[in-house]
Each structure stands twice: as C-alpha cells, then as structure tokens.
Structure 1
Amino acid sequence: MGNGFIKIHAPYKESFSCTEHWDGQFKSLGDALGTDCVIQKLVDVEGRVFQRTFRNQGFENTDWFGFGKDVLAPCDCVVEAIHINEATNNPGMMIPGRASSITFRNKDYTRVLLAHVRDIRVKEGQEVKAGEIVAKVGNNGYSRNPHTHIAAWSEDKIPLQIQFDQTTLGIKTRQEIAK
C-alpha cells in the first residue's frame, strides 16, 4: 500500500474487465473507489472474434461466463469478516440488500472486500495466500449481473484505488479462452 492505492492479486484466472467507481460516486467505505470485475470470453461469430461477458441474451445467471467461476484471494492475509446473502438475483434485476462478502485484513491492517460472491470456502480468522480460491462468482445484493465487486481501505478508513499485480494475470491462448 502507498500513495492511496493497493496492489492485489487478480480476482480470477480467466480474462476479465473492470468498471471503476469514480471518486465521489459512492460514499460508503466498501463502495468508495471500488471496482466491479466481470469475466469475459472470446466468442467467434461467423469468423469474427468478440470479447463478451455472456451468451444468448444474458437473462439467466448461467448465460454469464463468470457465474460460478473461482474467485481468488487478493493477498496473503486473514479473513476478517464474512457476510452471507442467500438470495440470488436474476440478471437485469436486483433484490435490495447487502451482498455476500468476504473482508480480508493484511499485515498492515489494510482491508480488501470481495462482494457479490457465493459458495464461500473460507472461515473468519483463516489465513489465506494470494491467489487461493476463496469463493465463486455470484449475483446477490445490489447487483444486476454476475460479477465481483472489490474495494479496499487503509487502517484509518481511507478508500484506496485498486491495482492488479499484472504478474498474477493468467496468460491463456485464444483456444483456452474460447473454451
């Protein structure tokens, strides 16, 4: 951590894109300067290759290439808190409420939050290593499609910009991504 940002492990092994929450868009600590990451896949349509997030019209969670995929730990850290929301939203609609989430704390007391997850595989107090599978991509809380929301803040509760350690991004061939 330094200069208002944190470098963390990529959230997925698959190709993904993120949409950032701009400074001032949201005030709450878990949303301020957060980013929403969606798994993508290269899709061949009549000899043209496009990067897409879902098949068909995307009306089912299973249409989304990321739904149910592994979510990876952001750092070598401790699981500080877990919240479970059992509801699953249909794409394009949302059931208001707090999303399922995992809050991690690293050795300098920086927190990283992963939200809208499902099938959480860790427990509070557990130590994890960066890149370890901790959950699956879900669609719950204030969410309109399967994705992972990531937020971070310093010990003194200042939101941090997120940067992904590019050495942790999976390198796959076009054929592997298209599977």
Structure 2
Amino acid sequence: MNQFVRCLSVGAAAFALSAAQDYRFSEPPQAVEPEGPIQAVVLHPIFADYFNCGEHPAGEESIVGDALGTDCQIVGGVFGENRSFARQFRTDGKTNADWFSWQKDVLAPIDGVVTGLFPNAKVNEPGQRGKPPAAMIQITRDDGLVVVLAHVTDFAIKLDQRVKAGDVVAKVGNNGPSYAPHVHVGAYRGVEPLQIRWDQRAAGKLYKKLESPAGQ
C-alpha cells in the first residue's frame, strides 16, 4: 500500500445529470483485462510541476476509467534552496490549501475531443471521503483512446472542444470519493483498460522551467 489516495472515481451507480446541456458523461462499461500482457499508453504529464502517482493494480477496480488507473498529486520540496524530500502538503494537511496540488492547473494528457464533462461542486475536507461520482473530464483521441480525469474542478474547456496535450483543462479539486486534493487518471480503449506511462521527454521540458531561476 502506498501513501497516495486510492479511491473509486468513476462510479457506474450515479450518472444522472441535470437537464443542463453543458454537461454529458456516458456510463462506463465493465473493464475486461487482457489475459496476456497489459497494454500501456504514454500520456503527456497532467501537471507542470513535480508529481507522484499511486497506481491501481490489476483486479482492484472493475470499471474502465478506474481499472489500472493512477492517482496523482503534486509534491513540494524537490527543488530550490531548501530542497529535501518530496512531500504532499506544507504543514499538517488539514486544509485543502495546505496541499501542493490544490487548485493547480490540470493539463490535457492527449490530443483529442472533450466527449464528457461531469460536475461536482461539493468540496471535501482532507481526510473526509465524499460520495461518488467525482467531477470528471473525458477526452477521446482520434484513434479511440479515452482518458478520464477525475476529482477536478473549474473546467477550462467545453463539451466537443478539441484540445492538445498540455492544454489547461481544469484545476485540481477534492470532490467525490476522495480524501485529499489529487487527480485520478484512467485510460482505455473499448472495454480494455490500459496501464499509464508518462512522456518523460515532455516532463523534462516542463521540469527545466521549474528549475530555472524564472521558474523558482
């Protein structure tokens, strides 16, 4: 068990949207994991900051978007004059604002079209798990790959909008079945969940900006 938040983010039981036409999200199907090797997908980093992720292992979750997903949080203390070990919050983590992730920009992990948006305006307090579903964004690539970002807030995009990898699409929230500010990322094709890897070349470009004098 790792230190990061693991929690169901795409619950099939609560997908009744209001009559507002600005939102749409299809109920995800049951995941069918392959009998052979698990396929992986390389995604653009979802943060322009240092971050760590805790993965959902095979068999832990049963719905695509959840299955083989990963929960990611920005960490502080890894650069600058006072760099030391990575940490998730500044002091005691008892408020959302104390977490390095809170309200930071969330970046699109792929080029694609926004095919799903699901709002959840309720904000959880750290340590108190809310009820599903989380606020979510669904982006579909032209080849059928789907990526879900959950527990986000302040959508910066609209339904059917085309985005490019690295575009700001939302901010980090703490809503739905979540104990702390973070973003859940899930990827799949059809009913097959995919293991997530991060584009290290893109990450390197982002991190160089952080380590430069201007970035500090």
TM-score where L is the length of structure 1: 0.91
The total of aligned residue pairs comes to 174
The one-letter amino acid paired with 1:165 is D
Q: Secondary structure at the match of 1:143?
A: coil
- Please identify, of 72-81 and 167-176, the stretch whose mean Cα deviation from structure 2 is larger: 167-176
User: What RMSD, in angstroms, separates the aligned Cα atoms of the two structures?
Assistant: 1.9
Deviation at residue 176 of structure 1 after TM alignment: 7.1
Deviation at residue 80 of structure 1 after TM alignment: 0.4
The one-letter amino acid paired with 2:211 is T
Q: Which of 110, 113, 118 in structure 1 is aligned with 2:145?
A: 110
The one-letter amino acid paired with 1:162 is I
Indicate conservation of the 8 Å contact 2:108/2:169, yes or no. yes
Quote the Cα distance in structure 2 between the aligned partners of 1:168 and 1:70: 16
Quote the Cα distance in structure 1 between the aligned partners of 2:214 and 2:87: 15
Indicate conservation of the 8 Å contact 1:42/1:174, yes or no. no
Deviation at residue 124 of structure 1 after TM alignment: 0.8
Aligned to 1:159: 193
Could you tell me the percent identity over the aligned residues? 42
Aligned to 2:164: 129
Quote the Cα distance in structure 1 between the aligned partners of 2:213 and 2:174: 27
Query: For each residue in 1:23-49, what CA deviation from the matched residue of structure 2 results, as whole angstroms up to 9, or x when unmatched?
Result: 0011111210000000001179xx772
Deviation at residue 138 of structure 1 after TM alignment: 0.5
Q: 1:109 to 1:53 in 2, by over 3 A?
A: same
Q: Secondary structure at the match of 2:197?
A: strand
Quote the Cα distance in structure 2 between the aligned partners of 1:108 and 1:35: 22
Q: Which of 9, 34, 42 in structure 2 is aligned with 1:7?
A: 42
Aligned to 2:31: none
Q: Secondary structure at the match of 1:17?
A: strand
Higher fraction of strand:
1
Runs of at least 4 residues off by over 6 Å: 174-177
Do residues 120 (structure 1) and 155 (structure 2) align?
yes
Aligned to 1:92: 127
Quote the Cα distance in structure 1 between the aligned partners of 2:135 and 2:146: 16
Deviation at residue 50 of structure 1 after TM alignment: 2.0
Which structure 2 residues correspond to residues 1-179 of structure 1 after superposition, within 5 A?
4-42=39-77, 49-154=84-189, 156-169=190-203, 170-171=206-207, 172-173=210-211
Query: For each residue in 1:81-111, what CA deviation from the matched residue of structure 2 results, as whole angstroms up to 9, or x when unmatched?
Result: 0000110100011111200010000011110
The one-letter amino acid paired with 1:115 is A
- Show structure 1 runs of 5+ residues with no match: none
- Show structure 2 runs of 5+ residues with no match: 1-37
Q: Secondary structure at the match of 1:49?
A: coil
Query: For each residue in 1:136-172, what CA deviation from the matched residue of structure 2 results, as whole angstroms up to 9, or x when unmatched?
Result: 0000001101001000101x21000111111111223
Q: 1:22 to 1:176 in 2, by over 3 A?
A: farther
Q: 1:7 to 1:53 in 2, by over 3 A?
A: same
Q: 1:65 to 1:129 in 2, by over 3 A?
A: same
